[in-house]
Structure 1
Amino acid sequence: MSPHADSDTGAETGAGTDADAVVAELSSLVFEVTGRLRAQFNATAAELGLPPAQALVLTNLSGPAPMRQLADWLSCEPSNVTGIVDGLERRGMVTRRPAPGDRRVKHVVLTEAGERKRQELRSSAHALARTFFDLPGSDQRHLRDLLARVLAGPSASADAESG
């Protein structure tokens, strides 16, 4: 019997079937990990008095950014970003400024209060992530490297294997 034999029926399974099962399991595990990370992030945001969408904007906003870019980060329509930014503006965490080259485009900019809240949010989220990824350092680095290869795409993975 081959190493790919089905133990229940004795029927041979193809290598493609095994690979498909591994890909399905990887996909499921990655979704579960991201779901848990998102839940932790949302809980941290709630503890800091922020709705998740506002927390995401604060976390990702490191410099002036157009509303369109915020919509891309949040995977939503630009019209939805207006309400999110309005809420952050009411809290004194961001301001809107005209873009230097095109006054019709508004850039969202962190205020000092927004930067403080951003650092608080990032620090709390990082502490939870450190607990979540409680693996030996070499395993953390290996997982990081594998995920980076996956995100870089197939050509990066092929280059890494041949090098």
Structure 2
Amino acid sequence: MASTPVKTDTATEAWTLVLALFFGERPPRIPRIAAEFDVSPMALKMLQWLEPGVEMTMSGLAERIYCDASNVTGIVDRLEARALIERRDKPGDRRVKLIGLTAEGERWREQILERLHEPPEPIAGLSASDQRALRDVLRRALGEN
């Protein structure tokens, strides 16, 4: 039996193209940038999600980066050894550890975000008007004005 082409609607096609743009980048963005900073991809995510001046619990951080809590300890140990983050007891409950960026960790985070936010070549290569149109459509899709 011959296979029948799958009929797709415009929304499905648009989403498929977004996925192709994101996942088609070679080498993949996250591992490449993590290697530039000599950290694991999960450590990169941790540095990305920790906000300057805001502490998070280890369990909250694990949930935020979609990582098993047992793995977070090792990542925190390695980043703490490099003086990028610090951990301390939560006031009133020494069983709970709070994680925060150090000044050096904040500098790294800024550099990491700059690298992550660089547009991939297929977007950078669009004309300025096409870039604005793409941005505006994506803003509407995300409910931003």
Q: Which TM-score band (shorter chain)?
A: 0.7 to 0.9
Gap change, CA 1:90 and 1:25, over 3 Å in 2: same
The residue number in structure 1 matching 2:10 is 22
Counterpart for residue 31 of structure 1: 19
Hey, which of these two has a bigger chunk of strand by percent? 2
Check whether the contact 1:67–1:106 (CA below 8 A) recurs between aligned residues.
Answer: yes
Residue matched to 1:42: 31
Q: TM-score, normalised by structure 2?
A: 0.73
Cα gap change, 1:68 to 1:55, in 2 (>3 Å): same
Give the TM-score taking structure 1 as reference length.
Answer: 0.67
Aligned counterpart, 1:136:
127
Aligned residue type for 1:89: E
- d(CA) in 1 for partners of 2:79 and 2:122? 29
Return the letter of the residue paired with 2:11. Answer: V
Contact 1:37 1:129 (C-alpha < 8 Å) held by counterparts: no
Partners in 2 of 1:64 and 1:46 — Cα distance?
26
Look up the SS of the partner of 1:104 in the other structure: strand
- TM-superposed deviation, 1:85: 1.3
Larger Cα-atom Rg: 1
- The 1:117/1:131 distance shift into structure 2, 3 A limit, reads same
Helix, strand or coil at the partner of 1:108: strand
Match of 1:30, as an amino acid?
V
Deviation at residue 58 of structure 1 after TM alignment: 0.7
Decide which of 60, 64, 70 is 1:73's aligned counterpart. Answer: 64
Gaps of 5+ in 2: 1-5
Equivalent position to 1:53, from 12, 17, 42: 42
Q: Could you tell me how far apart the structure 1 residues matched to 2:72 and 2:40 are?
A: 13
Aligned length: 136
Tell me, which stretches of 5 or more residues in structure 1 are unaligned?
1-16
Q: Which runs of 4+ in 1 moved over 6 A?
A: none
Q: Is the 8 Å Cα contact of residues 99 and 107 (structure 1) preserved in structure 2?
A: yes
Relative to structure 1, the CA distance from residue 104 to residue 137 in structure 2 (aligned partners, 3 Å threshold; closer, same or farther) is: farther
Match runs of 1:101-140 below 5 Å: 102-126=93-117, 128-129=118-119, 131-134=121-124, 135-140=126-131
Aligned match of 2:88 = 97
